[in-house]
Amino acid sequence: MHLQRIPFSCLWLLALLTPWNVLADEVMYESNDYSTGALGLGPFQTFFSSSSTPAMWNFVVPYNESTAGQIEPGLVFIAPRGTNVNSQGALIYEKTGDLIWDGTQYGQTATFRVSTYKNEPVILLWTGEITASGTGSGYDLILNNQYEIIANFTANLNGSLADFHDVVITENNTALITAYQAKTWDLSLYNISDGWLLDSAFQEIDPETGDALFTWIASDWVDVNSCYAAPGTTGTAANNAWDFFHINAVNKDNFGNYLISSRHCHTLFYIGPDGNIIWTIGGKNSSIFQGDNTIFSWQHDARWASNQTQISLFDNEGTSWELDSTNSRGLLLDFDATNNSVSLANQWIPYNISVTESQGNVHTLDSGNTLIGWGQNPWFSEYDANGQFLYVVEFGVGDVQSYRAYHFNWTATPNTLPSVFVDANSSTTVYTSWNGATEVATWQLSGSTAGSPQLAIPLSNTSRGGFETAISVSDSDTSYTFYQVAAFDSNNKIIAYSNFTSADGTSMAPAANQTVNAGNSTSPSTSSSSSPKATTTSSSSWFY
Ligand SMILES: *[C@@H]1O[C@H](CO)[C@@H](O)[C@H](O)[C@H]1NC(C)=O
Ligand SMILES: *[C@@H]1O[C@H](CO)[C@@H](O)[C@H](O)[C@H]1NC(C)=O
Ligand SMILES: *[C@@H]1O[C@H](CO)[C@@H](O)[C@H](O)[C@H]1NC(C)=O
Ligand SMILES: *[C@@H]1O[C@H](CO)[C@@H](O)[C@H](O)[C@H]1NC(C)=O
Ligand SMILES: *[C@@H]1O[C@H](CO)[C@@H](O)[C@H](O)[C@H]1NC(C)=O
Ligand SMILES: *[C@@H]1O[C@H](CO)[C@@H](O)[C@H](O)[C@H]1NC(C)=O
Ligand SMILES: *[C@@H]1O[C@H](CO)[C@@H](O)[C@H](O)[C@H]1NC(C)=O
Ligand SMILES: *[C@@H]1O[C@H](CO)[C@@H](O)[C@H](O)[C@H]1NC(C)=O
Ligand SMILES: *[C@@H]1O[C@H](CO)[C@@H](O)[C@H](O)[C@H]1NC(C)=O
Ligand SMILES: *[C@@H]1O[C@H](CO)[C@@H](O)[C@H](O)[C@H]1NC(C)=O
Ligand SMILES: *[C@@H]1O[C@H](CO)[C@@H](O)[C@H](O)[C@H]1NC(C)=O
Ligand SMILES: *[C@@H]1O[C@H](CO)[C@@H](O)[C@H](O)[C@H]1NC(C)=O
């Protein structure tokens, strides 16, 4: 059900009755009530068949007939967090704003993306504590396409755990992670006795063994007094150490060199296999010449692009104590290795001209489009190759943030069963959802009786209609005690059976002959079940 089809006046009434947690797959379009916070600071969706409460989107700039065709197919990955988020953590959505996967069981998440590990598409997800200093202490998880954890690793650095700022899988199935380490340091220059430094590090880790294959520590190579964030009131204790460098991105290329980003030095460092600094871009002593309009500050998410002829980054242009411009921007630099220079290739200006004081990312896409996550501001926007908006989404208005926003293709069949809720009020409705499933095209409803609870009698077929599908049970079929759904993919293959579920919540496992291999494309022997033919079409997902 998509409530945007309901007249605005009805929506408003609904909002009065149940402020900001309206049922079902709902998105809003240019909703002033959403933007002003009248619907609450972190509006969220709720469902019958699931306890998920994902952030509800408001398309501040909606896609339209002329822009929809240019939108790159794929799913959106965000991880809302902050005091106004109902349930913090990883969320995958269709581009319509309909939920695909709720991964909030892992709690507050920062880096959350698709990657490739051992030739398989996987989800990479950081989970842990984010400290007041804006660094993290936790674990990086790799999930397969059934959402099973296949690796769980952290830093290997004198007890420091993995920081949240980055995790990248290399072509050799190693992981690059960031880490922070408090250590005593002579800060008498700043009149701090018994000083403490919060050092930045990155490591290349073997996710299977947890071994560190390479460790780089910023203070070994960079003068701690050469950057832009003075100690201020920090530097006095291990839990108040001075974060002079603030590493927030790490990459490795086929030359075996690393490209990293230091927010507090306004500098990208290119680092050789011995740890030596090959060149720097930005900061007080850039070794690469920066052309017009290429100066960046407090940046995030520096990545090579176009076979190392370009670098993309999120140029914050500010932090909580300093604004360097009217707005942040996505930035694409042409990198001229011969001339040792960078020049402006492209920039992406936010819809709401403003500075993102922390976080943010730039995801350049294959089609030439770019998705930008505005970090501390709960916005993301997709641009076409000419830098025009295709749409802009807000996913909260208060303290709602997402470290990054990504756009990936992702195919998954969970190792769980679809979830069913039977509502027997007035006319019976069966609600079904299957957290994380991307391949369901049609739900087949079956009924069974108390006498033969596990004998499924097919009743109807319904096209998947967003995260949750509401299946109306026809009056002649309301006598069944139990209802069950079977998930069919677009090739009419059964990919899962739900439990048999009654209106009082009694739930019984599928029958013994109803087994399918989740994540296995082999068709089960379903001699009796005819190919489903959708009888109702409720999905509005005309792209994803
Ligand atoms: C479609 O959206 C784009 C981007 O916001 C806008 O420039 C354009 O005018 C819109 N076109 C129509 C027909 O509304
Ligand atoms: C990852 O490993 C750590 C250390 O063993 C453990 O505490 C944590 O629970 C694991 N995370 C998950 C999600 O299993
Ligand atoms: C980390 O551990 C190594 C090996 O035990 C030691 O040499 C080094 O001094 C330690 N570093 C810190 C910062 O404690
Ligand atoms: C350190 O203290 C001295 C003497 O009070 C003062 O002159 C100097 O400005 C101080 N330096 C800093 C960085 O605060
Ligand atoms: C992967 O391993 C090969 C062979 O050792 C090496 O040449 C290449 O640089 C490595 N790539 C990365 C990104 O580490
Ligand atoms: C500036 O960087 C160059 C290398 O590009 C280095 O030789 C020089 O020592 C640096 N100067 C300062 C003041 O850091
Ligand atoms: C990428 O650039 C390298 C030179 O740095 C070149 O040898 C290689 O062919 C390029 N690859 C592609 C796919 O263009
Ligand atoms: C490299 O620099 C030289 C001298 O500044 C200039 O003439 C040339 O056009 C530059 N080349 C490129 C590819 O920008
Ligand atoms: C998803 O796959 C489609 C079809 O191959 C492709 O056109 C699109 O670029 C992909 N989207 C992303 C975000 O990679
Ligand atoms: C299915 O039924 C079994 C057996 O009663 C129960 O253990 C399980 O939690 C149920 N699963 C779901 C998704 O309802
Ligand atoms: C798919 O199922 C078949 C039959 O049960 C099994 O032999 C095969 O190993 C499974 N493949 C995967 C990838 O799980
Ligand atoms: C399971 O067994 C029952 C009873 O024999 C049969 O009616 C039903 O068609 C079977 N279902 C499947 C999926 O094979």
Give a yes or no: residue 81 inside a domain: no
Strands 457-463 and 494-497: unpaired
- Domain that residue 471 falls in: 416-544
Give a yes or no: residue 475 inside a domain: yes
* Pick from 221, 268, 219: nearest CA to 241: 219
Q: Report the number of distinct structural domains present in the chain.
A: 1
Nearest atom in ligand 5 to the alpha carbon of residue 255 is 9
Tokens of 272: 């050789």
The residue whose CA has the least distance to atom 5 of ligand 4 is 191
Q: For residue 162, how far is its CA from the centre of ligand 3 (angstroms)?
A: 17
Which residues, at least 6 apart from 318, have a Cβ–Cβ distance to it below 8 Å? 297, 298, 324, 325, 328, 355, 356, 357
Which residue is associated with the tokens 């009530």? 33
Give a yes or no: residue 505 inside a domain: yes
Q: For residue 330, how far is its CA from the centre of ligand 1 (angstroms)?
A: 21
Backbone angles phi, psi at 375, to 5 degrees: 55, -110
Give a yes or no: residue 20 inside a domain: no
> Quick check: CB of 408 below 6 Å from ligand 4?
no
Give a yes or no: residue 64 inside a domain: no
Q: Is 68 helix (H, G, I), strand (E, B) or coil?
A: helix
Q: Using CA atoms, how far apart are residues 503 and 335, in angstroms rounded to an integer?
A: 63
Ligand 12 binding site (Cβ under 6 Å of any ligand atom): 455, 511, 513-514, 526, 528
Strands 379-383 and 389-394: antiparallel
* Pick from 121, 161, 176: nearest CA to 143: 121
Q: Using CA atoms, how far apart are residues 256 and 157, in angstroms rounded to an integer?
A: 21
* Pick from 246, 128, 277: nearest CA to 181: 246
Direct distance between the N- and C-terminal alpha carbons of the chain, in angstroms, rounded to an integer = 17
* Pick from 440, 454, 447, 465: nearest CA to 532: 440
Q: Among 64, 65, 390, which is best to mutate for testing ligand 1, by the most ligand atoms less than 8 A from CB?
A: 64
pLDDT of residue 132: 81
Which residues, at least 6 apart from 12, have a Cβ–Cβ distance to it below 8 Å? 33
Give a yes or no: residue 481 inside a domain: yes
Give a yes or no: residue 442 inside a domain: yes
Tokens of 511: 């029958």
Q: What is the 3-state secondary structure (H, E, C) of 142-178?
A: EECCCCCEEEEECCCECCECEEEEEEEECCCCCEEEE
Nearest atom in ligand 6 to the alpha carbon of residue 223 is 14
We report the CATH number of the domain holding residue 517 as: 2.60.40.10
**Which conformational region is residue 306 in: left (phi greater than 0), alpha (psi within -120 to 50 degrees), or beta?**
left
Q: For residue 428, how far is its CA from the centre of ligand 3 (angstroms)?
A: 65
Q: Using CA atoms, how far apart are residues 446 and 461, in angstroms rounded to an integer?
A: 9
Which residues, at least 6 apart from 321, have a Cβ–Cβ distance to it below 8 Å? none
Q: What is the 3-state secondary structure (H, E, C) of 489-520?
A: CCCCCEEEECCEEECCCCEECCCCCCCCCCCC
Q: For residue 508, how far is its CA from the centre of ligand 10 (angstroms)?
A: 6
The residue whose CA has the least distance to atom 10 of ligand 6 is 285
Q: Using CA atoms, how far apart are residues 540 and 18, in angstroms rounded to an integer?
A: 24
Tens place of pLDDT per residue across the chain (544 aa): 333 333 333 333 344 434 344 456 799 999 999 999 999 999 999 999 999 999 999 999 999 999 999 999 999 999 999 999 999 999 999 999 999 999 999 999 999 999 999 999 999 999 999 988 899 999 999 999 999 999 999 999 999 999 999 999 999 999 999 999 999 999 999 999 999 999 999 999 999 999 999 999 999 999 999 999 999 999 999 999 999 999 999 999 999 999 999 999 999 999 999 999 999 999 999 999 999 999 999 999 999 999 999 999 999 999 999 999 999 999 999 999 999 999 999 999 999 999 999 999 999 999 999 999 999 999 999 999 999 999 999 999 999 999 999 999 999 999 999 999 999 887 899 999 999 999 999 999 999 999 999 999 999 999 999 999 999 999 999 999 999 999 999 999 999 999 999 999 999 999 999 988 644 443 433 434 444 544 444 333 333 3
pLDDT of residue 532: 52
pLDDT of residue 23: 57
Tokens of 497: 């059976």
Give a yes or no: residue 381 inside a domain: no
Q: Spell 92-104 as b/e; 16+ CB within 10 A means b.
A: bbbbbbbbbbbbb
Give pTM, 2 decimals: 0.91
pLDDT of residue 515: 84
| Element containing residue 472 per DSSP (H, E) | strand 468-472
Tokens of 433: 């959802």
Tokens of 438: 């991307």
Nearest atom in ligand 2 to the alpha carbon of residue 106 is 13
pLDDT of residue 519: 46
Q: For residue 183, how far is its CA from the centre of ligand 3 (angstroms)?
A: 10
Q: For residue 332, how far is its CA from the centre of ligand 5 (angstroms)?
A: 26
